[in-house]
Amino acid sequence: MKKTDEDRVIAVTKSGTKITEKIADELAAETERGYDLSLGRRRGRPSLDRGVSPRVTFRITGELQERARERAEREGKSLSELARDALADYVK
């Protein structure tokens, strides 16, 4: 089967989705028609609680980070989940 210009891949998203000429044309047409922004999807991660979850940032050593990643993997958690659980236990 011969590929047409429509099938030519012009970009690839971070997640690996291939954007062809046809998809780009469809997205452009949708954009030109306009959007109802009230129907749009929320960006960012879902809240951990009601409303906006505050973000906490702090620095740690490379060794502590590696040990925490290993433990999180053993427990089937993300590093963030491990840190939240540890902080919650600490402040009890």
- CA neighbor of 19 nearest in space, from 9, 28, 32: 9
Q: Is 20 a residue whose pLDDT tops 70?
A: yes
Banded model confidence at residue 3, pLDDT cuts 50, 70, 90: low
**Which residue type does 5 have?**
D
Quote the domain boundaries for residue 90. Answer: 55-92
Mean pLDDT of 10-20: 91
Give 54 or 83, the one with higher predicted confidence: 83
Evaluate whether residue 9 is within a structural domain.
Answer: yes
Evaluate whether residue 46 is within a structural domain.
Answer: no
Evaluate whether residue 70 is within a structural domain.
Answer: yes
pLDDT of 37 reads 64
Between the CA of residue 23 and those of 9, 16, 28, 31, 56, what are the distances in Å? 9, 14, 9, 12, 39
Whole-angstrom distance, CA of residue 47 vs CA of residue 38: 19
Evaluate whether residue 63 is within a structural domain.
Answer: yes
Evaluate whether residue 40 is within a structural domain.
Answer: no
Q: Report pTM.
A: 0.50
Mean pLDDT of 12-30: 90
pLDDT of 2 reads 63
State the total domains in the chain.
Answer: 2
Q: Is 35 a residue whose pLDDT tops 80?
A: no
Please answer whether residues 88 and 77 qualify as being in contact, where contact means their C-beta atoms are separated by less than 8 angstroms.
no
Are 59 and 89 in a shared domain? yes
- CA neighbor of 20 nearest in space, from 28, 29, 11: 11
Banded model confidence at residue 67, pLDDT cuts 50, 70, 90: very high
